[in-house]
Structure 1
Amino acid sequence: MSYSEIPNQPPAYSDVGVTGESSQPRTFGDNIPDDFKYSVDVASCELPIRQLFIRKVYSLLTLQLMATVVVGFIIRSSDGIKLWSLENTWLLFVSMLGAIGCMIGAFIKARSYPINLILLGCFTVFEAYGIGVVCAFVESEVLIQALLLTLVIFVGLTLFAFQTKYDFTSWQGAVGMVLWGLIAWGFIMMFFPGQTGMMEKVYCFIGAAVFCVYIVIDTQNIMKTAHLDDEVISTIKLYLDILNLFLFILRILNNERD
């Protein structure tokens, strides 16, 4: 008896992923085949599908960075807006809480379209406002230097992550522990101001180094472990890596100038 003669035979391809896990249809169309939408790592896909995923991630990341620069420029270019932001510091805390809430929502709804893109946009606006307020009171020369240094370092680390054969994703646990140590150190410095310049410099250099490593790790995750519907999650991770690296570099340069 041939395959076609077996009664009630299920179709050769269903909504079950190639790894055997069931998937759900996306709520927004794209040109990725249904069988490759869930439970499939980018590394296991063919080259055109990998390239499509990477283009989506870096396109979203570029839009985020452009929006951040525009919001920061608007805040910085107007003395009235700068004065208003100083008089309404509550909005800065609202933007921080809003960014955290939208980020959590984007992770939860990472595969629900277009809700995930809406949450990503809101997260970017909240983050951009906070970054804009921070940068509004920094000298232009220092700000430009920090931007250029961050851009050069990010591009260099991205190219390195794409071509190296060493797997930096195995460093993720160790780097995460260092990051939590930095967070604890930062809280201590907040409650005990007046730290020496050397302590501040060491803190900033370690922070910049940590997020340099995170850029490499998250870039390799995009190529190896991310799923094809994780473009929003991957974009947020890289965006936060870049912002934190920029803030640490800005802090180093500003301290040197003072």
Structure 2
Amino acid sequence: MLSVYNYMASGVLLTGIVAMLFSMGGITSPAAQVFIHGGILKWVIMLSPLAIVFAMSFGQARMQTSTLQMLYWAFAVLMGLSLSTIFLVYSGTSIAQAFFATAAGFAGLSLYGYTTKKDLSAMGTFLIMGLVGLIVAMLINLFVQSSTLNLVISFAGVLIFAGLTAYDTQKIKSMYAHVAGTDMMGKVVIMGALNLYLDFINMFLFLLRLMGNGRN
């Protein structure tokens, strides 16, 4: 589990560094140029992380551990490029507050998932259903542009990914116990780190939408 957390934390750190560097310069930054005038490059950057997640999820059995590692780091870099826009939209103080609030919440929830004796699998099924509903609501709101629905989506997103943090931690702990000492151990570490990374980043983004203030 320590290896999982190390991979996850390193991925988040790499994403943050890439995002900060890509957005340096504000409106004249590479991020602004790409996402305002980038054309197809903008969509490549935005969709590539999703493609990598699908490739890792469905191809992990056929891939070498080294290949999964390479894809994980590539994913973290591409996520940094994609998330660089938050530094153009939100103030640095808002980003820092949302990040540290997420880090504190994530630590507590992951610790609960790791130590609890309660089986969280039923909660996980409910949360996955909630995640599907959340995605549908976000797609609908792209067209209706409702500020009230946006607030509900943000609040629900924080709750869903908070719950998934505890659920995924327990699932990773269980999987790791089954593969300890086998060749699958390295793959489980990387895929576990990817799951927790996604929980952390999504909880952070929804929390930022709730409490973030725009740049002056």
Q: Structure 1 or 2: larger helix share? A: 2
> What TM-score range do you get, normalising by the shorter chain?
0.7 to 0.9
Give the structure 1 partner of residue 23 of structure 2.
76
**Mapping for residues 1-258 of structure 1, pairs under 5 Å:** 54-79=1-26, 80-81=28-29, 82-85=31-34, 86-107=36-57, 108-109=59-60, 112-193=64-145, 195-197=146-148, 199-226=149-176, 227=179, 228=185, 229-254=187-212
Aligned alpha-carbon RMSD (Å): 2.1
Q: Could you say if the C-alpha distance between residues 205 and 255 of structure 1 is closer, same or farther in structure 2, counting changes exceeding 3 Å?
A: farther
Output the CA distance in 2 between the equivalents of 1:89 and 1:167.
47
The alpha-carbon deviation at position 89 of structure 1 amounts to: 4.9
- Superposed CA deviations along residues 161-215 of structure 1, whole A, max 9, x for unmatched, are 222221212212111111111111111110112x143x32222111110000000
Contact 1:106–1:232 (CA under 8 A) maintained in structure 2:
no
Deviation at 1:135, TM superposition (A): 3.2
Q: Which moved more, 1:202-211 or 1:126-135?
A: 126-135
CA distance in 1, matches of 2:141, 2:53: 27
In 1, are the aligned partners of 2:23 and 2:32 still within 8 Å (CA)? Answer: no
- Alignment gaps of 5+ in structure 1: 1-53
- Residue identity matched to 1:75: F
The residue type equivalent to 1:207 in the other structure is G
- Which one has a bigger Cα radius of gyration? 1
How much has 1:73 moved relative to structure 2? 1.4
> In the TM superposition, what is the alpha-carbon distance from 1:256 to its structure 2 partner?
9.8
Once residues 212 and 41 of structure 2 are traced to their aligned partners in structure 1, the CA distance between those partners, rounded to angstroms, is 25
SS in 1 for 2:107: helix
Q: What letter is aligned with 1:234?
A: G
Q: Gaps (5+ residues) in structure 2?
A: 180-184
Provide the TM-score with structure 2 as the length reference: 0.85
> Secondary structure of the equivalent of 2:85?
helix
User: What amino acid is the match of 1:83?
Assistant: A
Q: Is the 8 A contact 2:8 2:193 kept in 1?
A: yes
Q: How many residues align?
A: 203
With normalisation by structure 1, the TM-score equals 0.72
Q: CA offset at residue 136 of structure 1?
A: 2.7
More displaced 10-residue stretch of structure 1: 227-236 or 179-188: 227-236
Judged with a 3 Å threshold, the aligned counterparts in structure 2 of structure 1 residues 116 and 216 are, in CA distance, closer, same or farther, namely same
| Poorly superposed stretches of 4+, deviation over 6 Å | 255-258
Q: State, as a whole percentage, how many aligned pairs show the same letter.
A: 24
